[in-house]
Amino acid sequence: MAKDRDQGAIWALGAMSGTSLDGVDAAMILTDGHRVQEFGPHAYRPYTAAEQATLRAALGLWPGDPGVAAAAEVVETAHAELLSRFQGAALVGFHGQTLAHDPRGRGTHQAGNGSLLAEVLGLPVVWDFRTSDVALGGQGAPLAPFYHFALARHIGATAPVAFLNLGGVGNLTWVDPSAPGPETEGALLAFDTGPANAPVNDLMRARLGLTHDDGGKVAAKGRVKRQVIDTFLSHPFFLKMPPKSLDRDDFRSLLEAVRRLDTPAAAATLTAAAAAAVARGAEHFPAPVSRLLVTGGGRLNPVMMRHLARHFACPVQPVEAAGLNGDMLEAQAFAFLAVRVARGMATSGPGTTGVAANVGGGQISRPEAAVAG
């Protein structure tokens, strides 16, 4: 691996386990917390069926609830196994597994102990990224936008662009790359759009025993039930001004709405609903975008991508069209954010989470041996 080309840049290792519960992504980047200088190795560790069942049983639970400790053990074990394969990292960004997210209520809960990982890996670990943002009045999500700003600069964008992450929940980031930095007022607007892959995945699991609609093949055979989409878009969430965020299961009513449809029609309708939610969210953009770059598992669903393309006048492309890795982008984001936390820089702001002022989230755990030394 190349040596740092800039004295301020370090190799950071980030990990992400998303709401789709499929597994853990990990990736390294060379960064000073402002720019991405180089992309490093990356890897993926899937959760087993038993691990997924443990995590799924803990969704919606809070610290101390039965089942949370077992879920945390799954998260910690999987991350330790994956992250220990990497060499050359100076710092680790560990997001953990979101089990519950209620920023205006009980807060936010990500399972997994960064202090334990620091001991296992022998490296400083930045974790608990969302709590301070929520405590100061923010939504605690989404957190990737500051990284999206760096990526917009990295790909040479000069006009506004948008990044769309289609995971279990969808989220959009509008970026003005001409702004001085991500902390600048008007540089970013970010928010959750609505459910994305989670309802389709849940439908596939319940009806066909599958983890997801591979390639949109099931949805492609069905007819969209427009009435369901119209009712879905009347939900109060869509009337809220951004920034705003969701929990994975905030739209359970959507699954109930397709209960009487055959499986292809239900899959088609849920897929179309996710795209319609994105289009509704784009109405909040401060200015039109030159391109919409899609990351997350939804970009691999051609039915989802066709629906999106119908809603937008600009090109709608997977992030690979810009030379980026859509599977690892969120893991890279937490590597980037870890460096910013370690250097006392902001990781969220009024335009991304609705927090009153720019906030540097996350705590740093160092291995005891290093502290003692």
Do 130 and 164 fall within a single domain?
no
Q: Look at residue 13 in the predicted model and tell me its pLDDT.
A: 99
Do 230 and 274 fall within a single domain?
yes
**Cα-to-chain-centroid distance, residue 365:** 23
Residue-wise pLDDT for 179-225, tens only, equals 999 999 999 999 999 999 999 999 999 999 999 999 999 999 999 99
Q: Look at residue 364 in the predicted model and tell me its pLDDT.
A: 98
State yes or no: pLDDT of 371 exceeds 80. Answer: no
State the Cα–Cα distance between residues 256 and 245, nearest whole angstrom.
22
Do 170 and 78 fall within a single domain?
no
Contacts of 205 (CB under 8 A, 6+ apart): 211
Residue-wise pLDDT for 68-92, tens only, equals 999 999 999 999 999 999 999 999 9
User: What is the extent of the structural domain holding 247?
Assistant: 156-322
3-class state of residue 38 by DSSP: strand
Do 51 and 137 fall within a single domain?
yes
For β-strands 125-127 and 36-46, DSSP reports them as unpaired
State the Cα–Cα distance between residues 318 and 296, nearest whole angstrom.
9
For residue 329, is it within any domain?
A: no
Residue-wise pLDDT for 317-334, tens only, equals 999 999 999 999 999 999
Indicate the burial class of 325 (C-beta count within 10 angstroms; 0-12, 13-18, 19 or more). Answer: middle
Do 176 and 103 fall within a single domain?
no
Residue-wise pLDDT for 106-139, tens only, equals 999 999 999 999 999 999 999 999 999 999 999 9
Do 121 and 252 fall within a single domain?
no
Q: Tokens in use for 22?
A: 């499929």
For residue 167, is it within any domain?
A: yes
For residue 205, is it within any domain?
A: yes
Do 47 and 167 fall within a single domain?
no
Q: Look at residue 135 in the predicted model and tell me its pLDDT.
A: 93
3-class state of residue 321 by DSSP: helix
If one compares 126 and 244, the residue with the highest pLDDT of the two is 126
For residue 336, is it within any domain?
A: no
Q: Look at residue 9 in the predicted model and tell me its pLDDT.
A: 97
Do 36 and 124 fall within a single domain?
yes
Do 192 and 279 fall within a single domain?
yes
3-class state of residue 333 by DSSP: helix
Do 292 and 191 fall within a single domain?
yes
Check which CATH number belongs to the domain holding 199 and give it. 3.30.420.40
User: At 1, is the pLDDT very low, low, confident or very high (cuts 50, 70, 90)?
Assistant: very low
Q: Tokens in use for 100?
A: 């519950």
The share of the chain scoring above pLDDT 90, in percent, equals 89
Q: How distant, in Å, are the alpha carbons of 143, 322, 332 from that of 345? A: 14, 27, 17
Q: Look at residue 369 in the predicted model and tell me its pLDDT.
A: 57
DSSP 45-110: EEPPHHHHHHHHHHTT--TTSTTHHHHHHHHHHHHHHHHTT--S-SEEEEEEEEEEEETTTTEEEE
DSSP 111-157: E--HHHHHHHHTS-EEE--SHHHHHTT------THHHHHHHHHHTT-
Indicate the burial class of 78 (C-beta count within 10 angstroms; 0-12, 13-18, 19 or more). Answer: buried
State yes or no: pLDDT of 103 exceeds 50. Answer: yes
Do 136 and 162 fall within a single domain?
no
If one compares 1 and 275, the residue with the highest pLDDT of the two is 275
Residue 181's CB is within 10 A of a number of other CB atoms, namely: 14
For residue 55, is it within any domain?
A: yes
State yes or no: pLDDT of 161 exceeds 90. Answer: yes
pTM: 0.93
Q: Look at residue 4 in the predicted model and tell me its pLDDT.
A: 40
Q: Look at residue 7 in the predicted model and tell me its pLDDT.
A: 56
User: At 370, is the pLDDT very low, low, confident or very high (cuts 50, 70, 90)?
Assistant: low
**What mean pLDDT value characterizes the chain?**
94
Contact (Cβ atoms closer than 8 angstroms) between residue 25 and residue 327: yes
Residue 65's CB is within 10 A of a number of other CB atoms, namely: 14
Q: Tokens in use for 181?
A: 């930095």
Average pLDDT of the residues in 262-268: 98
Residue-wise pLDDT for 20-64, tens only, equals 788 999 999 999 999 999 999 999 999 999 999 999 999 999 999
Q: Look at residue 250 in the predicted model and tell me its pLDDT.
A: 80
Contacts of 169 (CB under 8 A, 6+ apart): 19, 192, 193, 194, 195, 196, 198, 246, 247, 248
User: At 252, is the pLDDT very low, low, confident or very high (cuts 50, 70, 90)?
Assistant: confident
Do 160 and 122 fall within a single domain?
no
For residue 349, is it within any domain?
A: no
Indicate the burial class of 335 (C-beta count within 10 angstroms; 0-12, 13-18, 19 or more). Answer: buried
For residue 311, is it within any domain?
A: yes
Q: Look at residue 372 in the predicted model and tell me its pLDDT.
A: 44
For residue 1, is it within any domain?
A: no
Number of domains in the chain: 2
